Amino acid sequence: MTTEAIIISLLIGAVAGGLASFVMNSKGGIIRNIIIGTIGGIIGSYVLGLLGISWDGILGTIGTSLIGACILIFIGKLLF
């Protein structure tokens, strides 16, 4: 993975995590948003894959990560 790809992944994670935090009324900093957005991308890809849905492009990646991040925050709120 190139340095450029890593930076893009971190930016997408930060955007998706920030949007998910806003949507789910959750607080956190940029590092938390990056982590939630990145893990959300994995969760979102899995869930949408089960439903047979796939999005292309940067907006699709952000949307997939956003959905997964919202699921992650929802589960976190249930547990804590």
Residue 70, in any domain of the structure: yes
Q: Find the mean pLDDT for residues 31-36.
A: 96
Average pLDDT over residues 8-34: 94
Give the whole-angstrom CA distance, residue 29 versus residue 51. 31
Domain-located, residue 10: no
Range of the domain at 50: 15-79
Tokens at 35, concatenated: 């982590």
Band of pLDDT at residue 44, cut at 50, 70 and 90: very high
Banded model confidence at residue 30, pLDDT cuts 50, 70, 90: very high
What pLDDT score was predicted for residue 28? 84
* Domain annotation covers residue 9: no
Residue 45 in this model has a pLDDT that exceeds 90:
yes
- Cα Rg of the chain (Å, integer): 12
Q: How far apart are CA 37 and CA 35, in angstroms?
A: 5
Enter the pTM of the model: 0.92
Which pLDDT score, from 0 to 100, does residue 27 have? 87
pLDDT band per the 50, 70, 90 thresholds, residue 1? confident
Q: How many domains does the chain have?
A: 1
45-48's contacts with Cβ under 8 Å and 24+ in sequence apart are: 47/71
